[in-house]
Structure 1
């Protein structure tokens, strides 16, 4: 019975073992089958060839198994680190979309340079070292820490205070090179002199001798000190560089100083120390040297002295000037009132008066009703007596003596004086709107001229012409050139001036170019006034070169005149449909009114179709020598084209018109 029980127990244990073996076998078979169906393999090729020999693959993240060059995953994204000796590691990321054959190329690990510059002397200057590899600057300083790809290179060192250094390098991957390079110094010279000579020279605190001196020095920086008795110590910094191994210094030593304190009575004069203007107060001066000190003020005797101060001396000097007076005798040609420096001194006449006045600028004024006041500035002197004989003239006689306009002023004609200069009259070939009769002529002027501010008005002309009586300020129009010239002769006669025009009865037959009587402006003068006066260069129009007419520039055919003018300016409105009073528009840059418009103007020149001589410069050009017609200049209230407003524009005038007037001119002397 016992035997049977044991047999049965053994059978039960065997059955259990068989069952366990079966289960284990099923698990193993299931695992292998799962591996075969679920695991993915990736083969990694590592480059370059030098890296593949020592390449190592290592899983970093995800379910991954690595064996040699193969990576096994159960799916999902994994990361593998790829490394090799002397190469930079690379992180490889693999996911379901990655190919089964992968390639990773590793970058070589660069070499590292750790280089230090050394020198046997002046090591503190090594910070200015420049480092170059194959001619390229890679760093500045006493040392260099630099990474670079493996290879052969030429390392160069440059320092302004040392000779150049270089070294050939052959670098391997991941190599660390730690070297020291010694820079060599060089020999230089420093030539040193001072004015005055004989100063003791110290270099970095050590005495080297007296100037002039030449020193042998190595390249570098040196502190220089120059000392000489009686002079201030001089300090400088010497620099001997490779590019300039020899230097020369010339120093001007400054004398030791003293102090001079200057005060003055009276104040407000000019104080000079060594011929330089100074303010009163304390001044630092070189000791043991003579200095010139002067002080002067108008009305006082000047002070002048030479002063020498010792080293460190402080000296006060108070300069007191004595008044200087002069005798002045003043007399006049008639009894009048005398004013001196604004103070009324009473009546004075032919007998005169004696005055004692300060020796400075004194203002003298003598006046009498009906006579021009005479003002003079004099400077009396104690060295000599001064005598003044003052002549009073009536305003008429004074103007005549000065050659200034007289009767014209009474008519209300104001004349301005001009000094014309050389220019080219006419227009250049490329000027827009140019006409064939605008010949370019070089002209110049030798005489100043007077020109009326405005065109002659109807009121002014009526004083000459008994045929009309008018108080109108509009310009006189419907007047012939001959009538305008006769008006000029009449005005000259009123002022006692020689007539410019020669006449036979009421007909002008010629002119006297040397006469200073009234006349019409020449075309050259008119055009100079219109486009060159007070201008750096000639302009196209009176107002400048711009084709857009400025506001208030003149009276032209514009929007105001379009109802009776077929051709008119579109973008301008002067508010006048017809002729306007003179000076209704602003004056041009030289003070003249209506040169550009209102009415056109007769000028002196005869009109001819003959070509002028353009090979010479015409001085005081009066135009063509003969011709039955005359030139008309300037635009007018019927001018509706921009080309007609140009300064060079010229028309032939044959008879009186309601668009033509004139202004007057004459030579100043």
Structure 2
């Protein structure tokens, strides 16, 4: 071993030399040899190290890389992948990441895209290439210019060549003049290839033989002159009109249904002598014209009259005397005729209430009411006008033989407005309602001195001026069952209360209010009663829907007559008058404790509505039959305030509602009076209701 070889060495690489520890030993310098220093690793070692490193990298690549396989349509398409992608069998070997690819094949559109490779699994990617369009060469037999439609849409073609047709099954239609359309299904293969389609065209015409009497007439079809009769012409299939004309003769128009390839011989056409043409006018214009009793129009006009025959012409116009003429025309002759019509007048007297109104006739001021006007005997628009009143309009046709009269009754704006409000209506359940327009100041309640008075009949000063509709009768079982189909009014000891025409009973005040809301909804009106879960929580005094009558309305309708308040339904004195209502009489003796021994109403319990006479307002049973639920909540006033209440609707708070009117159970003086007041909330077998509505 030389001195140089005796130098201590740590580690296997030059990097370890940097960390050698110098020991304190004796040192003998080594003589340097010519030729410089010696390499630490030989070339062979470096080659081996490089091969090992490369092998390691390859091994790592193989362990980390994933296969990427493209499934292409067509299968022989070329696939190019960007980046480090090693072809391997049917696919590529790639590291995880994102790669761009291009798939191409002859006859197809190339397709580019990106694919992301994860480290979890191998990847398969399907790519379908779209075929390039194909071309279609149409060869027509016979060789004529054609138009081409593909699937019903016309396409551009050059000498029968249609370019860039998408691949797939197509319906090809070949069109050309004078030939039938040719249609065929074709599978277009695409791939930029040209396919040939031979179209055998069949003629679209037929030979038509046309003749006339006399011969030599001109034949025209759709404006094209084909020749003179007799004639054999080729007509395109379809519904055609053949026009045959000749001077001094009538033109004939013959409809012909032409079928391609089917020859036809038309029957000879007889051409009659041409009509004469008469130009007619009148003074004034617009006169109606009849020829031989047939209306032909109004002047000025052109009349075609059969030649060689006498015709009766009549001219007439409203307000003018008619004129008759006899005319005979030669074949093809033309003449003019002017007729003067003489005016005919009638007399119309126009009066008005109030007087001194102005009269306008046909939009022009003609004079004053009270005058007689001489007018042509035709329809006239009459307008009678006076300041402060609505216009009166009518029409009149004066008569030359009889003087006519018109009386114009002029209404104020208020009267005219109410004239458009119907006096009677029907609600959706079928009941009738009458219009009431009160303007009354009255005292509701009764005097303390009145025999039979109850403490709750406190006197109140009322002013009622709000118009309303009110039911002519009480609501019947039939009407209520349209709202609540299964309702039964039941019976009293076997006496039925449930027949259709009997008033509905055994319903609560809330039931009656909900019925009113149902009517409102059926008529598209705003409901009066506010509800929550079939419970009434209040009311809207401005709503236009159906409701129960207010106590003031009921009292006025039942009692007010000629400025006074009646005591009983029949008048102011006892006994009960015959046929005045349904009360507790001998017929009800087994049902109630007290009866009217000297009165008979023919019914033990309720009676059909409108059985008895109506009161002066046309309303039935406001006394008797059944008592009635009222809109107002029940209270008892003090009677100390004499302030007049205008259209009262009752208090906002309370536990009970007012009941008004006597019933079939009542026979006492207290109950028979129209001022009798009761209250309640729950159903009873002698309480029903009627409906009302404000007129806004």
TM-score (ref. length: structure 2): 0.39
